[in-house]
Structure 1
Amino acid sequence: MASFGWKRKIGEKVSRVTSQQFEAEAADEKEAVESEEGGWLPAAKRRKEVLLEGCAERSKQLKDEGASLAENKRYREAIQRWDEALHLTPNEAALHEMKAQVLMSLHEIFPAVHAAEMAVQCNPHSWESWQTLGRAQLGLGEILLAIRSFQVALHIYPMNPEIWKEDLSWARMLLEQQKAAQRIKRSEAPNAVTQFSQKSIPEVDYDFESEEIIAVCAAIAEKQKQVSANKTMVIVSASGTAETITEKEDGATPPDSSAFIKAR
């Protein structure tokens, strides 16, 4: 008779071996995934770098085309090329600065100032951008702002004689002329007001209470009343003779002097 005993679980060894195999396979898969991720990130970064390099190269090509067109005074076409380049590299200060120069040549001062301000924002250390901004501000009559822009440009590049001999000297001369014109205007303004007031207001003393004016008014009123009180008719006979007949209305009384009151 067989003795009773606890049976060992079927497949105990198999389950342990299988689990070890699963763990090994999972480790291999994890290493494979990590290796794939490590390869994917550099590849994406490289593609982005290639794309940026392509944009920069295309932008430089458009920039050179626009410069060539501007030299031939084909300003509108040059602006079109530079706008296309700005879509690719919007933070390039040189594109904004050249666009501002061309806009000033077209006498479009407000867009020129805006383009120059964009150039300064993109590169505050560009003395060319500050110089172009000052020239555009002079076109608007903003002399003080232009002087400040020229001073910043001179501070960045103090060895440039064009800024302090031409731009800054010209702006300061315009400022002195503006101040002189304002002084002349202020000195002439009080005299003009005085002359206008003396000519526009005559010095006449109207005395409405004088006896002479009252007597004249009374005589005119009496004459008008006598004319209205009498009726005058003109009768033409058959022989062609004309006869004037004046009839006086009943009840016509001479004017009373007490009806006139002195005006006050």
Structure 2
Amino acid sequence: MASFGWKRKVGERVSKAAAQQFEAEAEKVDDGADKDDDVDWLHAIKKRREALLEDCAAKSKRLKDEGATLAEQGRHWEAIKKWDEAIQLTPENPLLYEMKSQVLTMLQEVFPAVQAAEMVVKLRPLWWEGWQTLGRAQLSLGELDLAVRSFQMAVHLCPSERPLWSEDLAWARQLQQRRQAAQDRKHREEEARQEVLHAPELQEDYDFESDEVLAACTAVAERQRRYEELRRTAVVVDAEGNAREVPAEEAEGDTSTSSPSKEQLVKARGP
């Protein structure tokens, strides 16, 4: 039977020159591997990341500008969609949240508007326009005390901005005073109502032939009259913050408590 020892014999006949050639080629492969090991992969990844960030910033700016244009055209929901896309690319840009909060306030989406404005002051706490936008959103939500505080922060950061004093802060404080006056009036109205329902004169027994009955009826009628007058009046607060009660019809036509003018166009505010 034939032997298979030929494999070993072939290996023995390999020339020395061929073996040296194989060794040289193996060394070249090793040298190439060493060169690959010398590549600064961290630096390459960093450069690639910087390039991606630059692309995101450029696209975010384009989306922000497109949203501002749409908002000025009255296409508010389309503008919000653009800004949401920009936020996905640059989530730490407070300008995007600030413009979004303005538009949401116009659309009476007050709770999301407050949330967006809160992100503004969180990302840039020293930006007075962010506090102004937050105050306006809080005012629309009915949070008067929070709105006053936000406007005060804006005034503290930029005391030279006169509209903050004359419009935003003054209007919020006037609403506070009006609310307090209305609460006081409601309290007095409830007291008058209770006096009518539980008049002390009605708890006593009288001799119907005496003058005490007439006096008791007169007292009850007077309480009823005061209660009815309170129900027919309304509280108004003038520009100086003075509260007064006027007939309800007069209060409806009173223009002294009208709200300040509001900007209709949304602008891309600067940093």
Q: TM-score range by the shorter chain?
A: 0.5 to 0.7
Letter in 2 for 1:35: D
The equivalent of 2:116 in structure 1 is: 115
* Offset at residue 184 of structure 1 (A): 1.4
- Over residues 95-137 of structure 1, what are the superposed CA-to-partner deviations in whole Å (9 max), with x where a residue is unaligned? 0110010011111111111111111112112211110110011
Q: How do 1:7-156 residues align onto structure 2 when only pairs under 5 Å count?
A: 32=35, 35-36=38-39, 38=40, 40-156=41-157
* Offset at residue 68 of structure 1 (A): 0.2
Task: Quote the Cα distance in structure 2 between the aligned partners of 1:75 and 1:64.
Answer: 13
CA RMSD of aligned residues (A): 2.6
Tell me the TM-score normalized by structure 1: 0.62
Task: Quote the Cα distance in structure 2 between the aligned partners of 1:87 and 1:126.
Answer: 22
The equivalent of 1:181 in structure 2 is: 182
Letter in 2 for 1:157: C
Larger radius of gyration: 1
- Over residues 144-188 of structure 1, what are the superposed CA-to-partner deviations in whole Å (9 max), with x where a residue is unaligned? 110100111111222211211110111111111111111112222
* Offset at residue 35 of structure 1 (A): 2.7
Task: Quote the Cα distance in structure 1 between the aligned partners of 2:113 and 2:100.
Answer: 7
Classify the secondary structure of the residue corresponding to 1:158: coil
Classify the secondary structure of the residue corresponding to 1:111: helix
Q: In structure 1, list runs of 5 or more residues that go unmatched.
A: 1-23, 206-264
- Over residues 43-90 of structure 1, what are the superposed CA-to-partner deviations in whole Å (9 max), with x where a residue is unaligned? 111110000010010000000000000001100100010010011011
Task: Quote the Cα distance in structure 1 between the aligned partners of 2:127 and 2:145.
Answer: 20
The number of residue pairs the alignment matches comes to 180
The equivalent of 2:171 in structure 1 is: 170
Letter in 2 for 1:85: A
Runs of 4+ in 1 over 3 A off after TM superposition: 27-34, 201-205
* Offset at residue 198 of structure 1 (A): 4.7
Higher relative contact order (CA 8 A, sep 6+): 2
Q: In structure 2, list runs of 5 or more residues that go unmatched.
A: 1-26, 207-271
Task: Quote the Cα distance in structure 2 between the aligned partners of 1:191 and 1:159.
Answer: 48
The equivalent of 1:16 in structure 2 is: none
Task: Quote the Cα distance in structure 1 between the aligned partners of 2:37 and 2:157.
Answer: 51
